[in-house]
Structure 1
Amino acid sequence: MGREGSGGGGGAVSEGVLKKVLLSYAYVAIWIFLSFTVIVYNKYILDPKMYGWPFPISLTMIHMAFCSTLAILLVRVLRLVDPPSSPPMTRALYLSSVVPIGALYSLSLWFSNSAYIYLSVSFIQMLKALMPVAVYSIGILFKKESFRTSSMLNMLSISFGVAIAAYGEARFNGTGVGLQLGAVAFEATRLVLIQILLTSKGISLNPITSLYYVAPCCLAFLLVPWSVVELPILRARSASSLRPDLLIFGTNSLCAFALNLAVFLLVGKTSALTMNVAGVVKDWLLIAFSWSVIRDTVTAINLFGYAIAFLGVAYYNHVKLQALKAKEAQKKAAQADDEAGKLLDQVDGSGGDRKGDSQA
């Protein structure tokens, strides 16, 4: 009887574990699909050889306006999502924490979308492999990371791999590379500042509340370069030459909004490290898609260089995983010590009571 019950419990446990694993794979698949879709969709809209609407700031502003509207609807009108209450988002906190993050996010999106006009999807993904290098370097600058020789050698190996991939790029464009490297730098700075300005203050934002606070700020910042760079061109062109399509821009904006929800699901239900690992899989899929479907030229030198960078990124993720496991083990050990200490206090207390009773 006891063994049968134990076996049934084991079956229930393994079924629960299997369900959790399958859900994790589902979150990863959804995020990869949506991220893949948004990247290819943006490339299709912005590339002069495809849809031919080369206005990256305008496209980014459409995304931010759409996301702002939906976020405000969900938070303020329908009240399906609550803004953070501890600590509350005061005006001073918004100006000191959210506004700098919004400014960096607007620059990151503007530069990354602009790069699609000049570079292939595959080469952009190869350049994005520099993100760990940028995050680590800026983390050291802001004293959020400590300098380690092994980490720096790993960062140099990633950079070396990306440099080889750039050397072998058939459609190398200096403007596009500069824009994408700028996007990586701005995004890395934003990620570090989120830790400094929000996480350290106990503020936790999900993608809906993040968009609620950040998207309108992004929209306001983008108005400045848009009015100088793109508005004069848009005014000079006729409405027919712009070929606006509500279906294309509407579905593109919806995909961008859904991607934010997918990030919340993936990071909230698994971890940010899982998203990093999934991002490597997505990059290889995009490179294969760019070569086979879009017919971008991918050279052997491209692949060799990216393979070196990929190994460096894989090692970076491995080190992060080991550090996370060590932190979790340390946390569990500390909890066990606390529980043991409380148990000893209870034993000593009850022993003292019994001694007092015997003396009485």
Structure 2
Amino acid sequence: MQTPRSATFPRPLWASGTKMPELHPAFYIAAWIFFSNVTILFNKWLLDTAGFPIILTTIHLAMATLLTQLLSRFSTLLDSRHNIRLTGRVYLRTILPIGVLYMLSLVCSNLAYLYLSVPFIQMLKAFAPVSTLFLSFGLGLANPRVSVLGNVLVIAAGVLLSSLGEVRFSWLGFAFQMGGTVAESLRLLLIQGLLSKDGDGEAGGAVKGIGMDPLVGLYYYAPVCAVLNGFVALVTEVPTFDWSDLERVGWGLLALSGLVAFMLNVASVFLIGRTSALAMNLTGIFKSILLVVVSMMIWNTPVTMLQTLGYAIALLGMMYYSMGPEAARSHLEACKAWLRENTNGGRVRNLFTSPYETVPSSDPRLSDVERGETEPKEEVVGAAERENAAASK
């Protein structure tokens, strides 16, 4: 007797080995902005409730290690790791430095939150493209140009004004944040080199890549980061750690925060793999603006006018740098064309009534009736009624 065959279902695209279609870079940017802001706000709430930043980071990295291991066993997303010849020498020169830099970045950033406010930290993060660019010069990934240097100096000046306007400034917190920013910039450059091929694009020069898939990169360096953060936690937080803190937060929320942090890591490596480390830093300025506004609404954090001015200067400098001079000039010409279309000498089109009537630019809201330039509404209506009556006769 023949045994009936069990029902079979088609494997999903992510597990079938079929190459998934590449998405537009805007998708990776939006996903990174979403998961990054949610992770920061979630972690801020957890730290205010329990207060164990390094242990929390270790839990997140351990969960990322577990999830990537599960993906490697129950899907084909990480099968490309078998095509990589990862020797001990390559591991020590690529994976280990990324793990060390990531550990330094996370530890310094978490310590900065103990001394500085969330909006001010986001303003200081605007310095990230400056550090990334100078590190690119040092590693031979980019050639210094006077125009580029002038642009990054504008960004640095904006960050300086934001620092001068901070009400609760702390040199120790500032040093932690700057150290974390430099470590993060160098880590991003190394990851970009890791994800690209030798001599390919910006990853050439001093950073030699091995063509590693973004998720495979996370698979290799997440365990290193988890172990290194675990050692730091053993020295700094474990001696004074109370398990009741975890119970107060709840294991479910901890697992959810770990999942969100894992999605942030995935979004980060995919964003770098599809764009560049500098593009990620430039995109971060828009993410930071959103985070500053939300944190001000949630925690009522004061932001001075000097900080706002400095942040605006840094934002404009980063927008100009990200668009480039040609795109910036084209946008400026578009603005001039719009102004020419909506102006006529010293008279501006009245946007509040008819698009064809104009009033002096000194008072664009003033109507023509109030100026006596047209007939009152009642007279116009009466004239129309008389014309209709004459036509009916």
1:319, CA displacement in angstroms?
Answer: 3.1
Q: What is the aligned partner in structure 2 of residue 240 from structure 1? A: 244
Distance 1:73 1:36, change over 3 A: same
CA distance in 2: counterparts of 1:263 and 1:100, whole angstroms? 18
Distance 1:273 1:106, change over 3 A: closer
* Identity percentage of aligned residues: 41
Aligned residue identity for 1:127: L
Q: What is the aligned partner in structure 2 of residue 154 from structure 1? A: 151
Distance 1:194 1:110, change over 3 A: same
Q: What is the aligned partner in structure 2 of residue 11 from structure 1? A: none
Q: What is the aligned partner in structure 2 of residue 350 from structure 1? A: none
CA distance in 1: counterparts of 2:148 and 2:277, whole angstroms? 19
Aligned residue identity for 1:158: I
CA distance in 1: counterparts of 2:293 and 2:130, whole angstroms? 24
Deviations 1:58-106 (A, max 9, x none): 1110111000000011013544421434442223211221111111111
Q: What is the aligned partner in structure 1 of residue 337 from structure 2? A: none
CA distance in 1: counterparts of 2:25 and 2:225, whole angstroms? 31
Q: What is the aligned partner in structure 2 of residue 288 from structure 1? A: 293
Count how many residue pairs are aligned between Structure 1 and Structure 2: 295
Q: Which one of the candidate residues 215, 236, 257 is aligned to 2:222?
A: 215
1:117, CA displacement in angstroms?
Answer: 2.5
Q: What is the aligned partner in structure 1 of residue 36 from structure 2? A: 35
SS of 1:291 mapped into structure 2: helix
Residue 122 (str. 1) matches residue 129 (str. 2): no
Q: What is the aligned partner in structure 2 of residue 113 from structure 1? A: 110
CA distance in 2: counterparts of 1:321 and 1:277, whole angstroms? 18
Q: Is contact 2:132–2:278 with CA below 8 Å preserved after alignment?
A: no
CA distance in 1: counterparts of 2:217 and 2:287, whole angstroms? 24
Superposition pairs of residues 245-260 of structure 1, within 5 angstroms: 245-260=250-265
Aligned residue identity for 1:133: V
CA distance in 1: counterparts of 2:260 and 2:325, whole angstroms? 30
Distance 1:204 1:142, change over 3 A: same
* C-alpha RMSD of the superposition: 2.7
CA distance in 2: counterparts of 1:228 and 1:37, whole angstroms? 29
Between stretches 263-272 and 73-82, larger displacement belongs to: 263-272
Superposition pairs of residues 134-213 of structure 1, within 5 angstroms: 134-196=131-193, 199=196, 200=198, 201-213=208-220
1:124, CA displacement in angstroms?
Answer: 1.1
Q: Is contact 2:189–2:277 with CA below 8 Å preserved after alignment?
A: no
Q: What is the aligned partner in structure 2 of residue 230 from structure 1? A: 237
Residue 310 (str. 1) matches residue 315 (str. 2): yes
CA distance in 1: counterparts of 2:189 and 2:239, whole angstroms? 35
Aligned residue identity for 2:260: C
TM-score by length of 2: 0.68
Q: Is contact 1:84–1:203 with CA below 8 Å preserved after alignment?
A: no
CA distance in 1: counterparts of 2:193 and 2:269, whole angstroms? 20
TM-score by length of 1: 0.74
> Relative to total residues, which structure has the larger helix share, 1 or 2?
1
Q: What is the aligned partner in structure 2 of residue 301 from structure 1? A: 306
Aligned residue identity for 1:105: Y
CA distance in 2: counterparts of 1:138 and 1:107, whole angstroms? 17
Q: Is contact 2:195–2:210 with CA below 8 Å preserved after alignment?
A: yes
CA distance in 1: counterparts of 2:148 and 2:220, whole angstroms? 34
Greater C-alpha Rg: 2
Q: Which one of the candidate residues 68, 72, 90 is aligned to 1:71?
A: 68
Aligned residue identity for 1:205: M
CA distance in 2: counterparts of 1:61 and 1:97, whole angstroms? 21
Superposition pairs of residues 330-341 of structure 1, within 5 angstroms: none
Q: Is contact 2:279–2:322 with CA below 8 Å preserved after alignment?
A: no
Q: What is the aligned partner in structure 2 of residue 335 from structure 1? A: none
Q: Which runs of 5+ in 2 are unaligned?
A: 1-20, 199-207, 328-393
Aligned residue identity for 1:290: S
